[in-house]
Chains A and B, each alone.
Chain A
Amino acid sequence: MFDKEKVGEIKKQRERWENTTLPKWISRHPERKSEFRNHSGILIKRVYTPEDIENMDYIKDLGFPGEYPFTRGLHATMYRGRLWTMRMFAGYGTAEDTNKRFKYLLSEGETGLSTAFDYPTIMGYDSDHPMAKGEVGVCGVAVSSLKDMEILFDGIPLDKVTTSMTINGPASILLAMYVAVGDKQGVSREKLGGTTQNDNLKEFFAQKLCIFPPLPSLKLSTDVIEYCARHLPKWNPISISGYHIREAGATALQELAFTIYDGIAYVESTLERGLKVDDFAPRLSFFFASHNDFFEEIAKFRAARRLWAKIMKERFQAKNPRSMWMRMHVQTSGCTLTAHQPLNNIVRTTIQALAAVLGGTQSLHTNSFDEALCLPTEEAVRVALRTQQIIAYESGVTNTVDPLAGAYYIEDLTNEMEEKAWEYIQKIDDMGGAIAAIEKGFFQKEIADSAYRYQREIDETKRILVGVNEYTIKEKEYPVKLLRVDPKVEEEQIARLQKVKQERDNKKVKETLEKLHYAAEKNENLMPTIIEAVKAYATLGEITEVLRKVYGEYKELIVI
């Protein structure tokens, strides 16, 4: 990037500085720590200069926004043209409750919906299942049948908003219900826009909401990718997720490498269906966390885009530039929120959100300050959304594309994140791929070790958490009003489910479930039969039960 002679001169000057000004200063003002490292363990230098990026090639490594390798952003004008999508994750109680919250968020200026389902739904249980007791509608909305889905999106035109659904094991079932609601609203399938998380691989080592064993889980994810490539052109069939990997305790580097590797596994698995890479790759999307170390996060997002572009071009021979796009959604990091002095979380979330924006995200969720205590209240959600709006409209960071490019530190860190991620990718390749790494407990062990190290650092105050291990105050009461889900939700939900079961054509339900059983045994793509089943009001639990019979249930590999 720089003239060789100039860099030589800089080197000479740096050495002079290191022998004169620096020691003189340090002798009187020692540094606070003997070494400085980021969360990924990368050693951070005192000062960065052109020497650190002397071998960088601007055209090859950075290029222009909207062009390969997309380090500077996916779009030519980035936020000068269109701001990121402000998408707030929401869902609790009954479908009516969440429908109301959705409408509130839309009226407050939100531009896309994001659905949280309750644990029974996520695990494929109907609200009346014994395992669902005490959990119905608590951490998300309960959806057991198409009836619930109809209420959830009542009065929301599915051709006008896009909807993201955080659902994995039963992703095909919830997508089938969404398609069915769209059909009823008269919205053609080409117009349905949104995302299903549908990333079953990370479940085995990060989010751990697994229903089926690894191979059938990968098969179900691939079914959705294949079906969408053929029938739902505007749907993002998968959101390949690093967020949960990070929240489970991984470092930024591990998050980056493992997520990209999962992406590789999905591409390979979909190619086996006979699709060409450019037929489906443009619709693959990603989901990352934004943690506290500001520059590390920005470097991670930039490195992620460049890595994915290279992998798609070189490993999978993609031709369409869109196949090389790593479109990403970012969520500020939930595990950084503290129950102590909860208002401090607004500041943390702001820093994290700013990193996501400077990293060039397409979509962003900001956490609410009360989430270490309970489900977010309306007021806390509003502050979180306002945080994004202030960054977007008041801070000025959106006025130019990738403003931190060229900073010696940022570019060097971006390079280092990329290099170290390649090392992991090589290692997992050698292990035999993602499923082999899961079965060996490789990811699990890596993450558990990082999580433990992080906690030790906090316990030993090597890592300061403001308000937790330093700057603590005597706290009596939390200044937040806790949102609670009425236990009556469970009763109402079960009553509705029973009514659905009475009113539907049970003969037809039986037929569609038998057909599904047959299709699963024949290893067909299950999306079409699942759509038929949900339209007959077969429940989520009944459909999952059929699949449990065919595929078996996952037994957790415990790695402490």
Chain B
Amino acid sequence: MQSIRKIRVLIAKPGLDSHDRGAKVVARALRDAGMEVIYTGLRQTPEQIVETALQEDVDVIGLSILSGAHKTLFPRIMELLKEKGLTDIMVFAGGIIPEEDVPELKKLGIKEVFGPGTPTDKIIKFVLENLPHRT
């Protein structure tokens, strides 16, 4: 039987930057779209993010970063997810991430990278269409 559990999304903010406007707007939009959203605040270490994902049993993680440290922090997050056996979580990202970095990030397993100016509807649609089939 299909589970009627709400989709659970962790919106996480790695890096030292404090630009949380986008993360909060996306969190609210996903919540308004009927999802269960967990937002844990600024400056989360990769370890904290993966731990929260595990504890909260999320289906999706949205990473927001504008500090430019994505090339250091994203690989670490993806590595930790693998270590914890959480590879079935769908991960997407947003923020100030140069186009030319995107292929590399996708290779790590990040499903999509949204740049500035992305409508929230597009993100909602993306999440719904790319939900992991979790066992």
Contact = CB atoms under 8 A, between A and B. Distances in A.
Which of B28, B31, B96, B117 gathers most chain A CB within 10 Å?
B117
A469 interface: yes
A166 interface: no
Nearest to B26: A455
B96 A558 contact: no
A326 B16 CA distance: 32
Contacts, number: 94
Contacts of B25: 249, 451-452, 455
Interface string A79-118: 0000000000000000000000000000000000000000
Contact of A134 (B72, B100, B115, B121): B72
Contact of A208 (B20, B28, B39): B20
Interface in B1-48: 15-18, 20-21, 24-25, 27-29, 31, 37, 39-43, 45
Interface stretch (A185-193, A333-341, A504-512): A333-341
A172 B25 CA distance: 34
B85 interface: no
Contact of A338 (B21, B43, B100, B116): B116
B99 A119 contact: no
A485 interface: yes
Contacts of A465: 117
Given A119-B15, A208-B18, A372 B116 contact: yes
Contacts of A402: none
B120 A455 contact: yes
Interface residues of B, number: 35
Contact of B68 (A131, A209, A451, A485): A485
A339 B113 CA distance: 14
B117 A468 contact: yes
A138 B24 contact: no
Contacts of B98: 373-374, 482
A448 B24 contact: yes
Contacts of B28: 448, 452, 560
A139 B17 contact: yes
Interface residues of A, number: 43
State the main secondary structure of chain A at its contact with B: loop
Nearest to B17: A119
B108 interface: no
Given A248-B21, A340-B117, A452-B28, A135 B41 contact: no
A374 B28 CA distance: 26
A335 B21 contact: yes
Which of A123, A556, A558, A560 gathers most chain B CB within 10 Å?
A560
A478 B100 CA distance: 10
B100 A482 contact: yes
B15 A372 contact: no
B63 to A, nearest CB: 14
Contacts of A139: 17, 67-68
Interface in A310-360: 335, 338-340
B128 interface: no
A249 B21 CA distance: 7
Interface string A381-418: 00000000000000000000000000000000000000
A456 B26 CA distance: 11
Interface string A298-317: 00000000000000000000
Contacts of B100: 482
A458 interface: yes
A138 B69 contact: yes
A468 B116 CA distance: 9
A115 B42 CA distance: 24
B15 A135 contact: yes
B71 interface: yes
A478 B99 contact: yes
Interface of A: 119-120, 122-123, 125, 131-135, 138-139, 207-209, 247-249, 335, 338-340, 372-375, 448, 451-452, 455-456, 458-459, 465, 468-469, 477-478, 482, 485, 556, 558, 560
Given A119-B17, A135-B72, A451-B25, 16 more contacts: A119-B15, A119-B67, A134-B71, A208-B20, A248-B20, A248-B21, A339-B117, A340-B117, A374-B98, A451-B24, A452-B28, A456-B120, A482-B98, A485-B68, A556-B41, A560-B37
Listed from nearest, the 9 A-B pairs whose CB atoms lie closest are A134-B72, A119-B16, A134-B69, A208-B18, A138-B68, A556-B41, A339-B116, A468-B117, A459-B119
29 contacts: A119-B15, A122-B16, A131-B16, A134-B69, A135-B16, A135-B69, A135-B72, A138-B67, A208-B20, A247-B21, A248-B20, A338-B117, A339-B115, A339-B116, A339-B117, A340-B117, A372-B116, A451-B25, A452-B25, A452-B29, A459-B119, A459-B120, A468-B117, A478-B99, A485-B68, A558-B41, A560-B24, A560-B37, A560-B39
